[in-house]
Structure 1
Amino acid sequence: MTLATALKTGDLTQLPSRRDEDWRWTDLRGLIRALPPASPAVDGDVAAGPFEGLATGEILFVNGRKRHAATGAGEVVALRFVSASDGTAHAAAYAIVVEPDTTLVLLESHEGRADAYMSDVTIDIAVGEGARVERIIMVDDHAEAINIVTTEVDLAPGATFHQTVLTAGARRQRIETRINHPGAHAQVRLDGVYVLAGQRHADQTTVVTHGGADGVTNQLTKGVVADQARGVFQGRIVVQPGADQTDARMGHHALILSDRAEVDAKPELLIFADDVSCAHGNTIGALDDEAIFYARQRGIPEAEARAMLTEAFLGEVVERIEHEGARAVAAAWVARKLGRSA
């Protein structure tokens, strides 16, 4: 059951609901009472994306339809999904094959240029033996949008896959990543940042399945929720029988800045092998009052002090982005979302 299936068939019973354990905090069936019309084709130029000037090639989808705005070969590719029509629905799918012993930086953006749209994006990524991929995903949806992004990643032995998600949420939003990890000295880093205000909702769900020995997974997600926003983190690491000597670490940490905001977190380790090193941590709290008092004593207004501390809290994830230009864009994005100048 997926949003894409519902959009294709018109059958609302195909929507996931809170009865589905993995969707209990991101109920679509209880929210969507009628499906909107299909999004129309959009001609003409599209404004620059958030990673403008950093990529050597660009692949552009507008309202689910693929357009090549400025394609080119190279190690840094911008993959853009633009929603450009109010009150309509669309789906898109794309597959990426990374050849063995090559490098790819994927600068992916989901850009809401309209109001109250529905979008479903499916991405498949195959990473060849010894290849290296860094994927930075920036999701800027409209406050009334519904957006589901689902990615399946297949890793070959010795491959490296690093990912960072940055999102400000939507009416309903879910960014889901599933990774088939072969072990065999392959390495995975899965990071995320969410900055939510108003009544926005963001769900970051990940599943990493270790199928062989000698694999590494490192995961860090941090979020901030204010007003009546809701953040959801679901992280599952599965260590299959025979996946000995797996090294897997997962951390999720969130700040709640309002009595009416909410964070739901479900970190899971399912281990069916011996001789592994696995751990997870989860914390949800508020800003340190002593740190705020300390800053105010030095003449920093309280609002600015709170923004500074929050930015530093999220900065740990941003600093793990390896691509220098994308890291600078991510830092500026966080600063803007927190009401600070870049």
Structure 2
Amino acid sequence: MTLATALKTGDLTQLPSRRDEDWRWTDLRGLVRTLPPVSPEFFDTIKAGGPFEGLAEAELVIANGRANWWPGEDTDTVEFAHHDAPDNPYDPVDLPMATLAADKAIEPRASIITFTGSDIASIRFVSATDGTSHHARFGVVVEAGVSAVLLESHEGRGDRYLANTLVEIFLEEGAKLERIVIADDAAEAFAVTTAIVNLAPGATFNQTVLTAGARRQRIETRVNHPGAHASVRLDGAYVLANQRHADQTTVVTHGGVDGITSQLTKGVVDDQARGVFQGRIVVQPGADQTDARMGHHALILSDKAEVDAKPELLIFADDVACAHGNTIGALDDEQIFYARQRGIPEAEAKAMLTQAFLGEVVERIEHEGAREIAAAWVAAKLGRGE
């Protein structure tokens, strides 16, 4: 059976598995044999707020794959629209879950937010269902010269659901977008989010992804980088416990001269949880004077926890400055000892040290309100151990 046929029939036996190099640590095929039934419409209106409550005037809620709530009127700087028949340009071999989201998104096929002026908008993907599946497609356009903030949350209010989301982002010349994502999926959920980011010359894209994982979770970001003085920052933090799994995968393709990419991902993994980081930076022929740097660092707090990391630099140009680093280890026993000598209980000392470890990622968030919420989110996850 071809993958195209599999997508149409809902038979997922051809979807990614450990045999696929980019999915070898996040096996979907072994756990999801057939596509669960379509999630029912959630008729109640989701209360405004979410994890970023109070930070954005413009808020869109997509519940079980369907638009659930919007303020009703566009602001002066944010426009909202539906698109019933967007094109589907994705290669299912390269981006199978993005193709599935585009193919099975419920009408209207896509929701689109356009920033015509500097503003903050919130998009909330809510899964209020058990044992069903839903797909959503969401677009973001930031017009030339505009600086905007996108606050994105994935909220699990049911369990055992399959949520698959495609986010397409377009930054026009000189535009700037900071995207901050909090993924709070249910423990037994399957959740995949694929973001495809297209930059024009001189654009700036900054992203921070915070996640607590799920039974299987993958958050993938693909950036088409034009060079041309465009700049990208891709950061992430994962806090995993019990048997949760989180996969943060990124691919940045530099296609032109004078491009910048900075990337920092940190994770803390406890119990029998599993963290996955895959970062790939590609410097195409002719993309000279590229400055690209990537770092991934993880703490393992349990003998049964696991972290798999694969940082890659594929360089086909001259005169570039590219580097990557990767470390995986345990908490420093000496630091714990000194904390205990000062009367701090061991559990509290470990929480303090892990919070400080992840704090470097949080501190890189530019928006002050979002940065404070992110810090509180990390502290809560470390304190609960969920």
Same-fold status (TM-score > 0.5): yes
How far did 1:185 drift? 0.3
Counterpart CA distance in 1 for 2:50 and 2:251 is: 29
- The aligned amino acid for 2:11 is D
Q: Are positions 1:167 and 2:167 aligned together?
A: no
Tell me the distance in 1 between the aligned counterparts of 2:315 and 2:10: 39
Letter in 2 for 1:300: I
Matched, 1:296 2:297: no
Deviation at 1:35, TM superposition (A): 2.7
Q: Output the amino acid matched with 1:37.
A: P
Unaligned 5+ residue runs, structure 1? none
Q: How far apart, CA to CA, are the structure 1 residues paired with 2:64 and 2:4?
A: 13
Counterpart of 2:36 in structure 1: which amino acid?
Answer: P
Other-structure match for 2:57: 56
Normalised to the residue count of structure 1, the TM-score between the two structures is 0.97
Q: What are the Cα deviations for residues 147-205 of structure 1, in whole angstroms up to 9, with x where unaligned?
A: 00001000000000000000000000000000000000000000000000000000000
Pairwise CA distance, 1:6: 5.7
- Partner of 2:70, secondary structure, is strand
Give the aligned residue type for 1:43. F
- Does the 8 A contact of 1:160 with 1:188 survive in 2? yes
Number of equivalences: 341
Native 8 Å contact 1:257 1:287 kept in 2: yes
Match of 2:180 in 1: 136
Whether 1:226 and 2:270 are equivalent positions in the alignment is yes
After superposition, where does 1:240-279 map in structure 2 within 5 Å?
Answer: 240-279=284-323
1:15-59 deviations in Å (ceiling 9; x for gaps): 111111000000101111333211000111214310111002011
Q: Which residue of 1 aligns with 2:70?
A: 69
Contact 1:97 1:125 in 2 (8 A): yes
Counterpart for residue 326 of structure 1: 370
Q: Which of the numbers 138, 151, 161 marks the counterpart of 2:195? A: 151
| CA positional deviation for 1:7 | 6.6
Please list, as runs of the form range in 1=range in 2, the aligned pairs for 1:94-109 lying within 5 A after superposition. 94-109=138-153
Equivalent pair of 1:7/1:90 in contact (CA under 8 Å)? no
> What residue number does 1:196 align with?
240
Contact 2:11 2:33 in 1 (8 A): no
Matched, 1:23 2:67: no
Query: Given the superposition, is the C-alpha separation of residues 298 and 229 from structure 1 closer, same or farther in structure 2, using an over 3 Å criterion?
Result: same
AA partner of residue 295 (structure 2): G
Q: Indicate the percent of aligned positions where both proteins have the same amino acid.
A: 75
Deviations 1:206-238 (A, max 9, x none): 000000000000000000000000000000000
Q: Which of 157, 164, 171 lines up with 1:113 in the alignment?
A: 157
Aligned residue for 2:159, secondary structure, equals coil
Q: Is the 8 A contact 2:46 2:61 kept in 1?
A: no
Residues 228/4 of structure 1: CA separation in 2 closer, same or farther (3 Å cut): farther
| Range moving further from structure 2, 150-159 or 36-45 | 36-45
Q: What one-letter code is carried by the residue in structure 2 that aligns with 1:198?
A: N
Say which SS state the counterpart of residue 232 (structure 1) adopts.
Answer: strand
Is residue 130–residue 156 contact of structure 1 (8 Å, CA) maintained in 2? yes
* Unpaired stretches in structure 2, ≥5 consecutive residues: 78-118
Find 1:284's aligned residue among 316, 328, 350: 328
In structure 1, give the amino acid aligned to 2:155.
E
Displacement of 1:4 in angstroms is: 11
TM-score of the pair, normalised by structure 2? 0.86
